Structure 1
Amino acid sequence: MAIFVLFLNATVAIITSLGAWNDYMLHLVLISDRKMATLPLLLYIFQGPFQHRSFICVLLNGTCTMIIMYTFA
């Protein structure tokens, strides 16, 4: 029974990772306007050597939004 739970958790992790990666790649290829970018794409856009504050701001904005949505949904 324990091996079944281990395989089930691994399967869920793989499927979730693939969904997140496909979401990133699809929007990277199709979206050219920054106003329509998704959160993973914005994190990629804001990466840079001296843009840590922008990166943290976008990361906190997305995290707080998700926490609020899960709390009140």
Structure 2
Amino acid sequence: MAEFPAASDWCQRWNGRRHSFRLVGEGGVDARRHAVELLPEKEVNEHIEAARRRQDRAVRSDSRWR
């Protein structure tokens, strides 16, 4: 996968399906302070399945009160 430099004086934000840009000094995200890493597919799938199980339990728990 290609890597793109993300450090910039600008930060793109989305709200209501519209984009806007903020300078880092005005509260935009400083991309130099963050990183993105690829995760092994097995680890990602385990995380997704665990999140689905938590959501299913929450929905079942909530439906008892209706």
Which of the pair has more CA radius of gyration?
Answer: 2
What TM-score comes out, normalization by structure 2 length? Answer: 0.37
Larger relative contact order (C-alpha < 8 A, sep ≥ 6)? 2
Q: Which has the higher strand share?
A: 2
Give the TM-score taking structure 1 as reference length: 0.34
More helix by share: 1
